[in-house]
Each structure stands twice: as structure tokens, then as C-alpha cells.
Structure 1
Amino acid sequence: MELPPRPKLFDFHGVSMTNYFTDNWDNVQNFQARPDDILIATYPKAGTTWVSYILDLLYFGQTTHEHQRPIFEKVPFLELLIPLYPPGVEVLDNLTTSPRLIKTHLPVQLLPKSFWEKNCRIVYVARNAKDNAVSYFHFDRMNQAEPEPGDWNNYLQRFMDGKMVFGSWYDHVTGWWERKQTHSKILYLFYEDMVEDTGRELDRLCSFLGLSPSAEEKERVKGGVQFDNMKKNSMANYSTNPVMDFKISPFMRKGKVGDWKNHFTVAQSEQFDEDYKKKMENTQLRFRTTI
């Protein structure tokens, strides 16, 4: 079965979306979270699969039968409804593992209310805007379920305008940051911190989740989630997903901080920085574009 043509963006409750994330909306909004569910929330291409795989190894690393399934099956994508696959909500309702690990890219205001009612733990990962834009661009080039990206210059303008699937990066990262200030069950991680010291961020994650893995287990997880190891691992790198065209670009490309320097011209960087300053001036949220 072939995918239909690439989807078109449209405005949905004030957020740019495609039908793959809105066609099942009532079922998504009525989704019944459980108190032990763990939600992994990110803007696209900000380390979602990385954190998903860390959590999968922490909770289910020893269960080998579980291990032989790709990460996108083990950590279902809540709002996704796409040809070739059952709806994310349905997959989650049929998951037998506990806790359920759940992936979402929804901005904070669109999250189903049962996650708040059940006081679920939420791990949010944010990545600096420049690297995030570059990663998203290459992802959109190779992912047939994303809108046509066009050239880099136009794409960057679209990113600045928030005309991306799941809306504005600026609104997304600040929306979740603000909610964290009043909600104790949100751990807000930075992609750059994870690259800089994976062990330290792993400790923060374990502390937040109330886990006490042995030093040996922690080393095993750390080794398993190194970028080069995940890139080679067919259970983590999305190579078994027919929607992704690896001839154009791998799903896991570089995983570095500062790769934006290989894409932005000086003029683009200056324009972006000026726009960024305006949009982020009212938040305490700070990102590093190099480490």
C-alpha cells in the first residue's frame, strides 16, 4: 500500500497541522491516561526517539521479547493516524506493558485533559531553535508523511513564521516551560545538556521517575543510547518504517549541537537571531546553540 500524496498544512485550533494528526481528534482528546503513564513530549526533531529509547531501556531493557520491536511500536505516537498503521490511541489502549510510554508532539494547550487529571509524569525535551530547524528540514525531506519542505531558505522562513507541523517552535517550548512552573510532574530536559553529559541527565531522569538502576545498568543504558549505536540499531533508527526514505536522508543524521553552522548563511543567522530575540524576550527560557 502506498501513501497518498504529501499532506498540506492547515490551521487547527491556532496551530499548523496536517490531517495525519487531526483525523482522529475526538478519540485523541478523549484518551484515558493512567496514573503510571509516562508521556514523552517534544517539538518534532528535538530528541524524542532518544528519550523514548532511554526510557524503554530503563523499564524494559531486560525483557528480550519486547526488545525485538521497533521503538515506534513500543512507544506509540498518541495523535498519529496514518495509512499502514493502526491509530496511536488504539495501539496504546492495547499495550500490555506497564508503565505505558507515550509519545506526543502536541503543544501543551492541546494535550488531552486526562493526562492532567491523572497527574501523569511528563518528560519534555527542548532543542535549540537553529539545530531544531535544520534537523526538521532534513526530516521533512525524507518523510513522505510530511508536507513538501521546499528549499532551505523558504523552509527557514516558514520555521520562523511557525508554519510547521505542530506549529511554532517558540510557542511550543515556552508553552511547556510555563506549564512546568506550576506542574511538579514535568521534567524539562535540554537536548544540549543530554549531548554534553548523558550520564548526568540520565541521573536526573531516574530521580524524577523514582528509579534506582545499578551502576552496571546505567552504563548499559548509556552505551545503548549513544548516537552512533542508535543510528546503527534497526530497532531505534526507523529504518523499518516505510514512510521514511533513507535514500534522501537517514532518520538519525548527526545528533550534534551546532550543526546549524553548516546550513545557515551569515545573513540567515543574523535575521534569525533578531527574530528570535523578539519572540523570546518575555521568557526565562535559555538555550545554547553550541557546547
Structure 2
Amino acid sequence: MDSKTTTNSLPEVLFDGMTIPPFPPLRVSVRQRFEDIRGLCTRPDDVIITTYLKSGSHWVWEIICMLLQGATSFVKEGKGSQFLEALDDLNLINKMTSPRTLNTHLPYRWLPRKHLENDGKIVHVVRNPKDVAVSMFFHFKETGDFIGSEKLDLDDRVNGMLSDAPNQPYGGWFTYEKDFIKHSKANIHFVHFERLKRYPLEEIKRLADFLRVSYSDQLIFHIAEKCNFTSLKEADDTTKVTTRKNVHGPNPKSLFLDEKPFTVECIDKGHMSSTGGMTDGKALKEVVFDGMSLPPFKPLREGVEARLNAIKHLETRPTDILLAIYPKSGTHWVWEIVWMLLNGRAEYIKEGKESLFLEAMDDIGTIKSMDSPRVLNTNLPFRWLPQKHVESNGKIIHVIRNPKDICVSLYYHFIGSGLFMHSDGVQFADCFEGLFSKERKPPYGGWFSYEKDFEEAVSNNYNIHVLYFENLKRNPMVEIKRLAEYLQVPQSTKLLHEISDSCSFNKLKRADDTLKEKSKYKKIVVGANPKFEGDVDKVQYNSFFRKGEIGDWKNHFTVTQNERFDELYRKQMVDSKLTVYYE
């Protein structure tokens, strides 16, 4: 690629088959700086971030700094303070306190030799080259700091990065990444930009484990929140500007550019045919029906109205018990308690609740062959419950949980699984808006409508036993005894105590991780998400038991969100007599 110059910009530096930005030390002597980097005397606790251009090095730098310091405050220095090929004086890093987060775009062959030989920690970020090309284009076009870019078009950037010809940016994406893959057995932690965007909590935890730093779920959550695009851009525009002048001149622009959407129309010569987004084209949207957004379980995708009508007209039995509970309100927990009461012993059953999950079962007709008593379960609102069961005074167990904690639990569920909903880069604020905003069709119609309908049904004397999640958590013996009396099953103090103990959060989570049969759950997941290509072995089971605490919302809601919710609750539930426990 030929160098281009303008009055205010310099041509790239050419060396070792690469074009490199004309940072001052590279213009003075590129070979000397590269040799100095390769011969750098690193420390055992150094972390080196290696990424191709525009692949997330600033993002991952902030995350790693927060993990190392165990706090979510931005460090004043930007990554430029430890950017090996751009620092005016490389010896400055010798005066820096440990741990140091060094960073470079150099290919594997030029990394510090001592660090490699001593199995030093390397974090390598990989981003899909289509998005890298687009991001590079806008970076060079908007900043114009190093490369003559006033006439640059996207074809230049695509050709420059993806060509097999010599002297491409840092040697070209393909050569760069192949070298890192070739050395993947070294102490290199691979971070995929797209996975970090989609599943930040999971990926930040993986990174923390690699770095061997202590962390809590709360710290991981707050790092994910703090390191979203908007917050990083704001910090980059304010906190980081002074430290970036050394590299980018007196008026550095933000490195978090609002990149234009990349569509086929961006390129008119057939170099790419992708939309270039963060989705892989295989995720499915929620099913929208009757004012509700529902998970894309296979039966709902194929015919949501038919499945809901099949549930409504289900031929139930007098011995059936129906758990009708809003999502993330304790269905799995109560399912175990009910079965232990029915069986008269504190033993876990092998089957999970998915075996009788009405809206998700592949063939709802299979429940006809199941022995009584059957413990059916659904998240559907009252109007869609089996009509015969409701009208014949069949047993219905309804659990109420405070909606603030539900919001937090839903957020972690979407982030952790990524199985049903579009969860690419979802933030807690997205979950808050999705659950409580008037502008959207919320999950299962929304908590307010859902609970008001059940409250009305209870006032109309339907045979509904109401449990409060928070009361069951605080006084399990009392609530389990009430439940046993409702189910009209034998009980003893010893049995109630054993069930209470066996259904404590930690023991339920252990049982869920080790004892539960997962095939029906995996079949539901495979039916909901085509990315698994029908192969249940590709599904990684994620436990439904995260914390089970009361009041975890305080670690997540902002003051503004809390005030908005409280005002919304007052308006929505003005005529309600429900008591909701938030702590």
C-alpha cells in the first residue's frame, strides 16, 4: 500500500513487511524500538495486551485495570501510557509500579522474549476482520492523525488490511492472527470481541480467572456496566485526553468513534457481502403475541396461538397441581418443595421442571401418559391457564417476588444463557426498560399486569395458594407448612425441617449442577436457538440458581431507576392491595 501524505500528516513507517503508524520513536528508528521491545525486561506480574488494530484494546485495558485494582474507577492514564511502540521513552515503564498493563499491536514475533519464555500473561483480543476494517476506516478518516486520509475510502482500508500483498497494516489481519493461533499453547488468554460484547459477565469472569485476581459477582457486574461504550467514550473524552496528547497530538479525538452502520451499500466492488453487525444471523427474536413478548421456544415460534390455546383447553386431572409464576420468581425452588411434600421425603427428583413446562414442551400431548399427581408449570398469565383446571377449583400455586429483584435476575439470566433472547451487549438498563417501559411489550405482559390479574383471581375465590418469595426465604418452615396444608399432604416437623434444609439455596444449586437430568432442558434450548444446529451436546447448561437473595436490586438500580420504578409502581398498582417486600 503506497503511503499518502498531507501537509499535517506523515506517511506510515515501513518495516519487516508491515506498515506502522508514524509514532515518533518509530520514525527515529523503527528497528531499534522493535528490538528494545523484544528485549524488554518484564516482570512476573506484568500483563501484556496484544490486539490487532481496532480490536478492542482500549476496552480490554480498562477492564483489566479495574480487575487488577478491584475497583471500578477509571485510571487517569490511558493505555497510551504503556503503549510499547508509541512511548517516547520506553525506559519510563521501568519506573512504573506493578502490576503493569503493557499493550502493543505488534505481531507475536516481536513480543518481549523474556515474557514469552517465562510464561508471562498475555491477553489477546480477536475481532472479526470485517468490523475491524470498517472501524479502521472511520478511525483513519475521522482522526487523520498518522496516515494521509483525506482521500481514503473504504476500499483502500479493506484492500490494505485483507490483501496478501506485503506492507499491510501490522502485516495484515490474516498473518497477524495466524501467528497467534500457531502459538496458542503459550500463556495466552484469547478474548473474542464479539463474545465480550454479548456476554460481558461471563467473559470478564474468565479474564479475572486467567489473571488470578479475586472478585465478586457484584464487582464483575459493575465493571461490565462501567465499561459499556457510552461510559468509556465519556471517560475517554474527559479523563483520558491529557494522557493521549503524547501519541495523538494536541487535539486528540476520542478512540470510541460513533461508527456508521456497515451495510452492503458501503462497498460497491464486491469485497464483502455481510452486514457486519455483532449478531451471527442465528439468534431469534422473542415471540410477540397478545401484548406479550415470549421466549422463542420452538412450539411458540411454530404456532404461538395454537400452543396457548392448547394450554387453555388442556384436559387436566383433579390431582394436578399447577405452578403459575412470573419468570425468575422461584418456580424451580417451589417445584422441588412441592415434589418433596408429595413424596413425603426430602429427596430431589431427577426430572427438572422443564419436563412439564407447558409453553416449552415439544409435544404437550405427552403429559397425558404421565402418572398422577402431575406438577404442571407455566409462566403464562392467568387468562391463559387451563380453563378446566381453573373452573373446577384445581390447585394453583402462585409465587410473588418483588419486581426489582426479578429485573436483576432476568438480566443475569439473559446475559448468562444468551439462549433465547437477543443478548448481544445487553446492559442492565436494557433489561430495566424492557421490563418496565410503556413503549415495549414486556415479558409475559409485564409484572404489573400479571400480578394484578392474579390478585383479581384470588379475590374471586379461585383455588390459588399465594406464596411470597421473600417470606419463603425468611421463614421456610412456616411457608412450607402452609403449602403442605394447602396440598393436603401428611407432614411432620422432622419432614418440614428436612425439606427446608434440602431446599436451601446452596443445596438446590448443587443438586441442579450435579443430580438433575438435563436432556429436556437442552432439548428446549436446541429448539429455541438454531445456533446449536439441533445438537443437544453443544448446549452448555447454566444453572438457574444464581444468588436467590432479597434486595440484590440495591447493587444494580441507579437512584434514577429506583425513583422511576417507585413512581411507576404507585401509578400501576394504585388500587392494588398487594404487599411487596423489597428487603
Q: TM-score band, normalised by the shorter chain?
A: 0.7 to 0.9
The reply to whether residue 31 of structure 1 matches residue 31 of structure 2 is no
Deviations 1:250-275 (A, max 9, x none): 42110010001111111211122111
Match of 2:553 among 251, 254, 260: 260
Query: Which residue does 1:69 correspond to in 2?
Result: 350
Change in 2 beyond 3 A, CA 1:100/1:239: closer
Query: Which residue does 1:158 correspond to in 2?
Result: 434
TM-aligned CA deviation for residue 237 of structure 1 = 8.4
Query: Which residue does 2:472 correspond to in 1?
Result: 194
Query: Which residue does 2:393 correspond to in 1?
Result: 119
Deviations 1:222-244 (A, max 9, x none): 11111110011137887834347
Unaligned runs of 5+ in 1: none
Secondary structure class of the residue paired with 1:288: coil
TM-aligned CA deviation for residue 111 of structure 1 = 1.4
CA–CA distance in 2 between the matches of 1:171 and 1:5? 32
On the 8 A contact 2:551/2:582 being kept in 1, the answer is yes
Query: Which residue does 2:284 correspond to in 1?
Result: 7
RMSD: 2.4
Secondary structure class of the residue paired with 1:167: coil
CA–CA distance in 2 between the matches of 1:236 and 1:182? 42
Deviations 1:176-229 (A, max 9, x none): 111011124101111011111011111111111112312221122111111110
Change in 2 beyond 3 A, CA 1:10/1:226: same
TM-score (norm 2): 0.44
Deviations 1:145-187 (A, max 9, x none): 4212421112101110263331211111111111011124101
TM-aligned CA deviation for residue 288 of structure 1 = 1.1
Query: Which residue does 2:504 correspond to in 1?
Result: 226
Secondary structure class of the residue paired with 2:512: coil
Query: Which residue does 1:205 correspond to in 2?
Result: 483
TM-aligned CA deviation for residue 28 of structure 1 = 2.3
Query: Which residue does 1:51 correspond to in 2?
Result: 334
Deviations 1:265-288 (A, max 9, x none): 112111221112111112111201
Query: Which residue does 2:359 correspond to in 1?
Result: 79
TM-aligned CA deviation for residue 60 of structure 1 = 2.4
Change in 2 beyond 3 A, CA 1:119/1:5: farther
Output aligned runs, 1:90-105, within 5 Å. 90-96=365-371, 98-105=372-379
Higher relative contact order (CA 8 A, sep 6+): 1
CA–CA distance in 2 between the matches of 1:213 and 1:268? 44
Match of 2:414 among 97, 122, 140: 140
Percent identity between the aligned chains? 29
TM-aligned CA deviation for residue 61 of structure 1 = 5.2
CA–CA distance in 2 between the matches of 1:142 and 1:32? 36
On the 8 A contact 1:68/1:235 being kept in 2, the answer is no
CA–CA distance in 2 between the matches of 1:283 and 1:238? 39
Structure number with bigger Rg: 2
TM-score (norm 1): 0.86
The reply to whether residue 131 of structure 1 matches residue 405 of structure 2 is yes
Output aligned runs, 1:268-287, within 5 Å. 268-287=561-580
Change in 2 beyond 3 A, CA 1:236/1:95: farther
Change in 2 beyond 3 A, CA 1:236/1:126: farther
On the 8 A contact 2:350/2:516 being kept in 1, the answer is no
Match of 2:294 among 5, 14, 17: 17
